[in-house]
Amino acid sequence: MKRKTIVIISVILIIALTAFGWWRYYFVFGEGVKAGTLNFVVRKGYIFKTWEGRLIQEGFKTPLPGAMQSNEFEFSITNDSIAAVLERSGGRFVELRYREYLHPLPWRGMSNYVVTEILDVKSTEPRPGNLPFGQ
């Protein structure tokens, strides 16, 4: 009887710990799209080499004059082909689809936000007709 109780409690404990671990690290808390100028994409890490990037968003204003508001979106990339495209798109306007997790994992990246798709990449170079002072 005592052995059966220990086995049942152990199984329940393992199931509860597995569910808690999944919820904390693999549950997708949110999904969305962010757009802005790509600042950088780098591959870094001591043991797990992960792709990390930063997007500078435009158009955010603070309600208080003179106050500063962060308009940076830091993200991780798990797909090498997405990272290769973004690595060559620095300084361009990009639209990225991402997933938000509750906590990062060392092999997934340093950010809670993981980019899953590139929706658009636009050049920010001026067109000949739009140069200032008729240049």
Task: Specify burial of residue 94 (Cβ count, 10 A radius: 0-12, 13-18, 19+).
Answer: buried
By DSSP bridging, strand 72-77 and strand 28-44 are: unpaired
The answer, as to whether pTM is greater than 0.85, is: no
In which band, very low, low, confident or very high, does the pLDDT at 51 lie, cut at 50, 70 and 90? very high
What is the mean pLDDT of the segment spanning 101-126? 89
pLDDT, tens digit (0-9, with 9 covering 90-100), for 12-32: 999 999 999 899 888 889 999
Q: Pick from 97, 89, 57, 90: which is nearest to 73 by CA? A: 57
- Which CATH architecture does the domain made up of 28-128 adopt? Beta Barrel (2.40)
All structural domains of the chain with their residue ranges: 28-128
